[in-house]
Every structure is written in C-alpha cells, then in structure tokens.
C-alpha cells in the first residue's frame, strides 16, 4: 500500500465550500482521510505544504490535440505533459481529430493511449454526427458505453434543426450530455472578429454578437422539446447569458462553459492584428467580458475551459484573417483564472469551482472534490507567486499562447494524479 500525506496546507474544496487549514491522506491513489484544522496526519510519506493551497486537480473539458491526424500540432503526450504543468488532472479530448472520434473504437483508442502515458486522466468527447458532418447521427450509445463523457461536433455547428433535435432526443435515452457551440452558421460565416466599430476600423469581417444568441435560442428550444441534457459550449456574450439565465429560470437542465480567454481578453486585444488573439468565438467587447465574469461569480457558468487549441507557427504566421483560430491554454489556465481572484475580487473557491467540482458534476466524474473516497487528483499551488509567461517554454508542441509575455500570479508547485506525483515545480 502506498501512503502519502499532504499536511499544513490551505485546503480549498469548492464541493464543500471549505477554505481553511487542513491535511489529506492518500492511500493507493484514493483520498482516505481529510483533516480540517491543524494537521496530525502521518503516513508513509509526508509532504509539508507550508501553507500552500491544496485543491482538487483542474478538469478541463475542452482540449484539442493533433492526435490522431495532426501530431506535429500536439500529441496526447505533449498535451498531457502540458496539463501536468498546468495543474490539470483530467483532460477531455475533443472529437475533431482526423479521423473524427465518431465511433467506440476511436473513443477506446484515445483513452488507452492516454492511460498508457501514466500522466493525467485522458477522457474523450465523442462526435455528435458521423465525421462531424452535421447530417448523420454518430453512435452515441456505443461511444457512451465506451466512456465518452459528452457529445459535440466541436466548432462545427449542427445547422439542421431536425438533425440536432433527433440527436438530442436519441441521446436522452442514455442520459448523455450534448454540447453545441452557439453560433448561427450563416451570420458567423467568414467572420474573424465581433462586428462593431473596432472590426470595421481594422477592416476585419465580423459576426454580430446576436449570432450567438440566435443559435442559443434555437438550441434551447430543442432542449425544451426533447428533454436533453445540454451544455452551451463556450458562451461568450452578455445577450446569450441572458437567454441562458431565462432558460434556467424555466427549469431547463442547461449548463454552460466559457473559455478562459474570453474571461481575460477583450476585442481591444486584437488591435495590433496579433494572431494569437485570433480566436473562435472571436474576442468580444469589454461589456461581454464583464458579464461573463459575473456569470462565473454567480454560478451561471459551470465550467471554465482552456479551450486548448494548438496551432503551429505556420498556421499563425499569417495575416490575421487567414490565421488558424485558437490558443493553447493548458499551462496558463490556473494563473489566468487566478487573475479573476486577484484583479476582479472573486473568491478563490468561486474561481476554483468551475475548474473542478463544476465540470466533475456536469460530467458525472467522482473527481473534483477533496473527500474520502474521491480519486487523489490534487494540486498544490502558490496563488500569489508571480509568473511571466514564456510561450517558448511551454510543454505544448504548439506555442500559440495569447498570454505570451504577460505577468500573471499563481504557480503550480505539485500535481498529483491518482496519488502519483506527476509534476513538481
């Protein structure tokens, strides 16, 4: 039996709203003891946290890799290494690989490859339609059985309402979660920015923010009709948040995620055409960013994701409109999110909840909490430590980080997955 005790920590458990001194005992990869207050725990191996924060490991539900199909961008290994350094203990791989994750064999393949690395928990989101074509329903039942956590076509919007309605209805037989990007495909076509004065001045084609609201209204109407469990993937506008809040008020089972980038940046950041800020959905006005932060504070948003999207230099060294969208984010997720605590005044537990307990509850994982019986997926971090992001030093194969050169606060000191220390600063 392997025993490990982490003592003298500042225990942060969003699941039980506890923020205070404590210690954790780990045996054979599972949390077997939690002490709140001055530690008396002893075990085979004792780690003295010296007052550092000990929280559940982060769960990132939107991670793209290049494996299989585009390994030069990112592999499961490079993404997993990146995750360990970022304090992310569970990553959910998106189905937009080549071939797409649209059958149980692919789900199984990625899970096995991920598990063989012995780094972090590698889980999978399955495609909602075959080859993500938006037309033919994928094998949701078999993929669900194989371990897929939710179903999405990623950045491909399922435009055909009848197809989406059938997918939602069918998925409800398995109580499976369906996720959709709310973006009207016609209004968003070819857009690289949010319509408005700035996009006009920069000469960039923009999509109006209502493109998100329109699609979300449709999606939620279908949710209401089918009774599906639904995740709004990467909500980014105030108007959409209002729609979401109204739907919740009507008792719909709808969750939402937001990318860390939309909580940290606004459209002004694209001002000098820096392609690391070319994102999808595009960056929004400051009023939207403020509304998103409030939604995190109020718990309207269940999950903050890194929206990790590796894009190699050849895809980013282009004119803004021609550059591949997306940013890597696994390693910067925690310090960037801690900015909400340092700069926006959010309680530390309110910042950690959508990174741990929120996504765990959404996806039915028993991680994301520090309680006896939960897997020992934990991180030790110093919330105030200054860091300067150096994209060249990132473990990810692609270095497209919009935080490059930024000064952030918060450093991961240790990452523990299933009781094993997989990263130490």
CB of 223 to other proteins, least distance (A): 13
Task: Output 168 or 348, the one with its CB closest to other proteins.
Answer: 168
Give the whole-angstrom CA distance, residue 197 versus residue 217. Answer: 26
Task: Output 147 or 169, the one with its CB closest to other proteins.
Answer: 169
**Cα torsion through 266, 272, 273, 275, rounded to 10:** -70
CB of 131 to other proteins, least distance (A): 10
**Taking the alpha carbons of 403, 404, 406, 409 in that order, is the dihedral positive or negative?**
positive
Q: To which H or E segment does residue 419 belong? A: none
Residue 292 and residue 259 in contact, taking contact as beta carbons nearer than 8 Å: no
Residues that bind other proteins (CB under 8 A): 129-130, 135-142, 145, 163, 166, 169-170, 172-173, 225-226
CB of 142 to other proteins, least distance (A): 5
Task: Output 138 or 241, the one with its CB closest to other proteins.
Answer: 138
Within 8 A by CB and 6+ apart from 122, the residues are 76, 80, 91, 93, 110, 111, 113, 114, 115
Give the whole-angstrom CA distance, residue 241 versus residue 258. Answer: 11
CB of 293 to other proteins, least distance (A): 37
Task: Output 145 or 366, the one with its CB closest to other proteins.
Answer: 145
Task: Output 166 or 406, the one with its CB closest to other proteins.
Answer: 166
CB of 128 to other proteins, least distance (A): 10
In a 3-state reduction of DSSP, which class is residue 365? coil
- DSSP one-letter code for 298: H
CB of 83 to other proteins, least distance (A): 31
Task: Output 225 or 287, the one with its CB closest to other proteins.
Answer: 225
Residue that the structure tokens 């059938």 belong to:
166
Q: Is 405 left (phi over 0), alpha (psi -120 to 50) or beta?
A: left
**Taking the alpha carbons of 8, 306, 240, 289 in that order, is the dihedral positive or negative?**
positive
CB of 133 to other proteins, least distance (A): 9
In a 3-state reduction of DSSP, which class is residue 79? helix
CB of 171 to other proteins, least distance (A): 8
Task: Output 162 or 250, the one with its CB closest to other proteins.
Answer: 162
Alpha helices in 233-342 (DSSP H): 238-249, 260-264, 286-298, 313-316, 333-342
Residue 281 and residue 256 in contact, taking contact as beta carbons nearer than 8 Å: no
What angle, rounded to 10 degrees, do the helices at 76-86 and 104-116 form? 60
CB of 173 to other proteins, least distance (A): 4
Residue that the structure tokens 């000098």 belong to:
272
CB of 138 to other proteins, least distance (A): 6
**Taking the alpha carbons of 204, 208, 211, 212 in that order, is the dihedral positive or negative?**
positive
Task: Output 103 or 233, the one with its CB closest to other proteins.
Answer: 103
Q: What is the CA radius of gyration of the chain?
A: 20
Residue 234 and residue 241 in contact, taking contact as beta carbons nearer than 8 Å: no
Task: Output 83 or 106, the one with its CB closest to other proteins.
Answer: 106
Within 8 A by CB and 6+ apart from 271, the residues are 198, 202
Task: Output 157 or 293, the one with its CB closest to other proteins.
Answer: 157
In a 3-state reduction of DSSP, which class is residue 54? strand
Task: Output 129 or 195, the one with its CB closest to other proteins.
Answer: 129
CB of 132 to other proteins, least distance (A): 12
Distances (CA, A) of 5 to 27, 48, 52, 318: 9, 8, 14, 50
């Amino acid at each position: 039996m392997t025993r490990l005790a982490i003592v003298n920590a500042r225990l942060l458990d969003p699941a039980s709203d506890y923020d205070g001194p404590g210690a954790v005992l780990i045996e054979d990869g599972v949390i077997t003891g939690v002490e709140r207050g001055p530690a008396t725990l002893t075990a085979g191996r004792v780690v003295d946290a010296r007052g550092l924060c000990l929280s559940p490991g982060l769960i990132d539900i939107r991670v793209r890799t290049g494996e299989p199909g585009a390994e030069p961008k990112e592999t499961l290994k490079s993404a997993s290494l990146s995750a360990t350094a970022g304090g992310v203990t569970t990553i959910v791989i998106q189905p937009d690989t080549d071939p797409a994750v649209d059958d149980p064999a692919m789900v199984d393949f990625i899970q096995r490859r991920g598990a063989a690395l012995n780094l972090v928990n590698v889980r999978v989101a399955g495609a909602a339609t075959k080859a993500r074509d938006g037309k033919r329903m994928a094998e949701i039942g078999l993929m669900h059985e194989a371990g897929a956590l939710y179903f999405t076509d990623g950045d491909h919007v399922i435009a055909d309402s009848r197809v989406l309605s059938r997918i939602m209805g069918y998925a409800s037989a398995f109580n499976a979660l369906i996720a959709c990007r709310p973006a009207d495909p016609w209004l968003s076509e070819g857009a690289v920015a949010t319509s408005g004065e700035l996009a006009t001045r920069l000469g960039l084609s923009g999509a109006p923010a209502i493109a998100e609201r329109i699609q979300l209204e449709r999606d939620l109407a279908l949710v209401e009709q089918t009774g599906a469990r639904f995740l709004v993937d990467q909500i980014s506008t105030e108007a959409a948040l209002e729609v979401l809040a109204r739907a919740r008020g009507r008792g719909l089972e709808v969750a939402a995620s937001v990318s860390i980038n939309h909580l940290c940046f606004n459209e002004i950041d694209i001002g000098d055409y820096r392609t690391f800020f070319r994102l999808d959905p595009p960056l929004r006005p400051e009023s939207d960013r403020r509304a998103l932060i409030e939604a995190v504070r109020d718990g309207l948003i269940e999950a903050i994701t890194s929206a990790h999207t590796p894009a190699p230099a050849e895809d980013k060294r282009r004119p803004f409109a021609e550059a591949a969208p997306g940013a890597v984010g696994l390693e910067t997720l925690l310090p960037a999110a801690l900015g909400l605590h340092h700069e926006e005044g959010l309680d530390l537990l309110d910042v950690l909840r959508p990174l741990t307990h929120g996504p765990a509850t959404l996806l039915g994982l028993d991680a994301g909490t520090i309680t006896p019986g939960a897997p020992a997926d934990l991180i030790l971090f110093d919330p105030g430590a200054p860091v300067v992001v150096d994209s060249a030093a990132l473990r990810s194969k692609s270095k497209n980080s919009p935080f490059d050169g930024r000064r952030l606060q918060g450093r991961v000191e240790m990452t523990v997955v299933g009781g094993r220390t997989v990263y130490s600063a």
